[in-house]
Every structure is written in C-alpha cells, then in structure tokens.
Structure 1
Amino acid sequence: MEQTPLRLSVLDQTPVGEGQTAAEALRASADLAQAVDGLGYTRYWVAEHHDSPGFAGTAPEILAGHLLARTRHLRIGTGGVLLPRYRAAKVAEVFNVLAALHPGRVDLGVGRAGGPADRFPAQVEEVRLRLGLIPGRRPETDQSAPVPPRLWLLGAGTNSARHAGKLGASFAYAYFLTHKPGRAVMDAYRGALDAAGHPPQRGVVAVRVVSADTEARAEELAQSVLLWRSRKDLGQDLPLPSVHGVRGHRWSALEAERAAALRRTLVAGTPEQVRARLTQLAAEHGVGEILVNTLTADPADRVRSYRLLAEAFELKAPAPDAVPV
C-alpha cells in the first residue's frame, strides 16, 4: 500500500524582529501567507498573544480575515483564539461570518489560556452550538455559515486531548511547548474519540522549525530563537534578536541552561535534516500532518525556510480550482 505523504501546515506567531515594528511584522505575515499559498501547504494558522514585544498578533480573527482575502488555496484559521477571554457567542458569530465569506477555508482553533479554565468546556459547547456543529441542535437564531468552520482544540496535555476527543473535535498538540508527553497526549485523544463513538482522527502536531540552505546558517537562526526564548523564560520579553546580535552575545549561565533544555523542542538544520526529523516525529505521534512554526528576526529567512521545506517534502502545488481539505 502506498504511504500517504506527510502534510505540512504553517503556525504563524507573527514574530517581531529586533528593530522591527508590530505593523511591519503583521505585513510580513501577510507576505508569508501569500508566498506559501501556492506551495502545497495545507493550512495557515495565526496565533494570539498579548503584551509581548516579540509577537504582534493580538487579534487573530482580524488577521485571519485579512489573509483569507489575500490567498486562494490555504485553509486559514487561528492557532488559536484564547476563548476564556471572550464571549463564546461573539467568537462564533465572527467565524460564521468568515466561513460565509470564504466557504470551506476556515479553521477555528481555540485554547483555554487567558482566563478561568473552568469556563472553557461550557464555552466550547456554546461555540459548537452556534456554529451548527452539534447534530440535531441549532441555535435559536440560526446564523451559522453554509459550510461551518472546522473546530480545533489546542493543547499540550492529556486533559485538553481527552476533551477534544470526547467532543469529536480536531486536536492540535503543541510539541514546541512541551515534548515529553507527546505520544501519551495523542493516545489520550484517540482513546477519547473511540470511547465516545466518534469517527477516528489523527490530529496534528505543532513543531518549532528553522531550516536554511546550510547547516551553519540554520544553526545561526536556531541560536536566535533559543536566545529569545531563554530570555523570555527568565523574565526578559524582547523582540527576536538578529543573527548579527546573537553572534556577539555573551550567554549567561542561566541562558545557556535554558537554551539546552529548549533545544529538545526545536528542529533545525538543512531541509533534508529537517525532513528526516519531522517524518520521525509524525510517525512517533501517529499523525499525518505537522504544523511548522518558524521564528526568525528577518522575514526573508522565514520565507526561505518554508520554501526549502516545501521542496524537501515535494509538496504539490494546488490546482487552480483545488478545494482546501
């Protein structure tokens, strides 16, 4: 039996590089989406962060709408909306509008950070109702789109995975946040799907990746990510440092210690090296799709990384009339 090719997608956190403005970072996200639209990537998600100099994406639903209007082939969505911060009804209304304007292309990924976690299950249920995703039930005022958004739950632990499986929702595992329980998380998701009688789903895994033409250049880009994240973990939230800035940086003992730990969740190298590792991770987690999260200070390095991966994985450019999956 012929093996199904591994699908790749994009998780864009709209990084702000050293010396860059938030507006420039947002325009770089739009440029990246347009650059990868015809390369064979499956979906493109934008993240939500607040009060961080390193990320510009504070309103993913607005950015998603902007990208939907400027692309043709990608599924566009959120990775994700921090649902406890909002009224579930408003979130559903926004995504029903997006789905009505762009049928079959909208993903709604939600996470439970940003507010009281105990509200999250009830909020997800209300979103599902208002999107028309609960069989046999419709909201009192039916404004759901003809082709509703696909609902994804995002998480890094077994509780989120089981919740997604119980509901029959799609699930994305944040490997780039914590890699240790990965297989257990995906097993919990599939077990919950089966126990609830839902059709099987494989889920996706989100991995932080940097790739370049040479191993040396990929390592320079990786050092930038590691320094940025180490500083953030130690309480110094800054834009992503440039490659030039990292070359002259003297790492503190604490920064070096954090970087060593973070290295386990980062895949860096030439396209061939990255392909081998991502293929291995997909097999370990039992998934057929990887969400690639690439952070660079220079937007050109980010576009180059995604182009190289598309070539390495031999992604197929979509036909002009292709329908997003």
Structure 2
Amino acid sequence: MTTTPRLSVLDLVPVRTGQTSADAVAASISLAQAADRLGFTRYWFAEHHNMPAVASTTPPVLIAAAAARTERIRVGSGGVMLPNHAPLVVAEQFAALEAFAPGRIDLGLGRAPGSDPIITQLLRISGPTADVDRFPDHIADILSLLSPDGANLRLTSGREYAISATPAAAALPEVWLLGSSDYSAQLAAQLGLPYVFANHFSGEGLERALELYRTGYRPSERHPQPVTFLTVNVVVAPTAAEAHDRALPQLRSMARLRLNRPMRPLETIEEARAAEPDALADELIQAMTSRWIIGDPDASAAAVRRLAGRHGVDEVMVAPIAGAFEHEPVDASPGRIQTLELLASALAD
C-alpha cells in the first residue's frame, strides 16, 4: 500500500549566476513562505561554508529570518555541524530561537565539516570544543543545557557550577540527529533521538542505516518510539522536459563537486544547456538522475509515495533544486516554488 506522506523542505540557499547573497536569501525566504502557505511540515537550512553556489553558512540566522516571515511551519537546521561550534553557543542560539518562535524550532545536528579542510580548521580553531571524537558528549551537553534545569559543571576545585542556555525555558527545540552512515544511525538509536539519513546527498546505505536505527532504538522520555524521515532531491514542472532542464544546473554542480573540480555559482539553465559534452560528468549526472525525483506532477507524486512506502516513513523532506532561466528574477526562485506547489497539489489529489 502506498502512503501519502507529509512534506518538508531542505534549503541550501543556492546562489546562481548573476545573484548576490542578498538575492539568494530573499529567494529562500520567499520559498519558506510558500512552504508555510502550502502546509509543509518543516523548513530546514543546511550548514555549508565557502562554497560559491551555497549561501546557507549560518543556519540560526536564517532560521530566525524565516521564522519571522512565516506563521505555522517548523523551522530548523539540517543541520548545524556540531564539531564546528561550541555546544554552549549552539544551545544558547536555539534556546533563543525557541523563545522567539515557541513550538516551531528544530535543531538538527551533524558531525560532517560542511566545507574543505582549510575552512574546517578555521571554524575549529577553538580547540577541544571541536574534537569530533567527542560528538556524542557534545550532543548530551546540548540536551542538558537546553533543559529547564540546565546542567552542572564540576570544577577542578570540586565545586559545581550551574549552566543554562536560557534563564527560564518554557519549551525545548526538537533535537534531531543527522547523518549518512551506520555510526549516526546507531548513535541516534542509543540516545533515543529522531534521526534523518542524508539521502539527498548520498543515498548509499540508506536501508541499512534505517534498520540499525529502528532495531537498536532505546526509548527516551520524549520519544518512546523511533522517529525518522527521508530527504530527496526533487524537481517538479508541468512537463518532464522542463523538469529535466531545471535539474541540469544542480546536476552539473554536483558532478563538479564529486570530480573535485573548481566550484562556481550555479549555472542558469541556458548556461547548462550550452556546456560542452563531458563524459565523466555525464556519467555521474546519469547516475544521480536515477536517484533524484525529476518529472511532471503525477509522476513525481507517485515517486514520493513509493519512496515513503518502501522505507516506512510518513514524512519526506524535499530539497527543491530546480534551476532558473536567465529571464527569471534574481531575488526569487520560480522553479523551486513551482516544485513545491505542483508536488503538494499532486499529492493532495
């Protein structure tokens, strides 16, 4: 039996040829408003650094902006790359966001760097707080710091020192663990946390990760049962031909990334169409196309239902990666909004 899952959005705030960062952020806020209007469940911003085609460097700032311009949709991080940040700073930021938009904040945590080794070194210059091996401890620290009771630090003198992320928490952000490996699935199960596999980026090992998470899950007070959903790259247009045209800039950008070639802003659709043939990139593009959902509304809705049914989830988070034609406004994302509108409508039928 196929299911009709809830829909959510993952946004990297893409930057294309001719766009400024201000244009890209304005386009993403408009997209968040569209998702809110269409009844999507949540809207998450990813964390990436020093990438010409990605402006989602600071999820907490973008979350605050989106929360201020929306009414009901949950807004969060997909995710904050915890080894780049001190746990106390993350806890304080998301406690403040929860106070600003009560009941609407998600804190997705990951341990990937989100950039190249040089940027990673700059982000982790704080020293021991950036120890990747302490990732589980830092998650536990954040959970304690966010709680109304806060945490107690035992000083070398033996005295306990009380710490809290906010003076009087009335509610907590929802904490999720993100990943694309067995490790992340097993850790989420051990901690009793909701878990999301980064299927939009990798797709390899999805079934095993979900099985490890579900079979190894240890119930927690807030989550007595395992909670998970899937991410997937999606482009929906009135015709399959237009959908494939709109997918091409992102497909070519991902091929460049995987071939370790210099990155650049996303091409327009016209630039992508005019590119010279490239056998290595074309092979990667063909493989990615088979894993992404690219098509007309009915075919795309059927693919989303099959994906949810196959993996036993009742929510799918789409990364709407539709590119833009040269004539389209730089401070908007008509193709991405079209993807959300057409998919939501087709799934409602």
Normalised TM-score (structure 1):
0.91
Q: Residue 194 of structure 1: CA displacement?
A: 4.4
Pair 1:256-2:277 in alignment? no
Within 5 Å, which residues of 2 pair with 1:154-193?
154-193=178-217
Judge which range, 276-285 or 90-99, deviates more. Answer: 276-285
**Matches of residues 175-324 of structure 1 in structure 2 within 5 Å?**
175-194=199-218, 199-234=224-259, 235-298=261-324, 299-314=333-348
Largest Rg, 1 or 2: 2
| Residue 49 (structure 1) shift | 0.6
Any conservation in 2 of the 1:232–1:238 contact (CA below 8 Å)?
A: no
C-alpha displacement at 1:239, in angstroms?
Answer: 1.5
One-letter amino acid of the counterpart of residue 163, structure 2 = T
CA–CA separation in structure 1 for the residues paired with 2:276 and 2:215: 47
The residue that corresponds to 1:104 in the other structure is 103
Check the 8 A contact 1:80/1:111 in 2, yes or no.
Answer: yes
Q: Report the Cα distance in structure 1 between the residues aligned to 2:184 and 2:281, rounded to whole angstroms.
A: 30
Q: Which amino acid aligns with 1:229?
A: M
Conserved? CA contact 1:11–1:79, under 8 Å: yes
1:4 & 1:286 partners in 2: Cα distance? 9
Assess if the C-alpha contact under 8 Å between 1:178 and 1:265 holds in 2.
Answer: no
CA deviations on 1:199-247 (whole Å, 9 max, x unpaired) are 2123011101111011110011122221111112222211111111122
Per the normalisation by structure 2, the TM-score is: 0.85
**Partner residue, 2:140:** 125
- Greater shift, 117-126 or 8-17, is seen at 117-126
Q: 2 CA distance for matches of 1:158 and 1:196?
A: 20
**Cα distance in structure 1, aligned partners of 2:263 and 2:169:** 39
- In structure 2, runs of 5+ residues without a counterpart are 114-129, 153-161, 325-332
Deviation at 1:149, TM superposition (A): 0.1
Tell me the CA shift for residue 297 of structure 1: 3.3
Backbone CA RMSD of aligned residues: 2.0
The equivalent of 1:320 in structure 2 is: none
**240-249 vs 2-11, which moves further:** 2-11
Post-superposition offset of 1:314 = 1.4
Q: Distance in 2 between matches of 1:157 and 1:184?
A: 9
Q: Deviations over 1:81-125 (max 9, x none)?
A: 111011001100110011012110000001101264212111111
Q: Structure 1 regions of 5+ residues with no counterpart?
A: 316-325
The percentage of aligned residue pairs carrying the same residue is: 37
Q: What displacement does 1:3 show?
A: 8.5
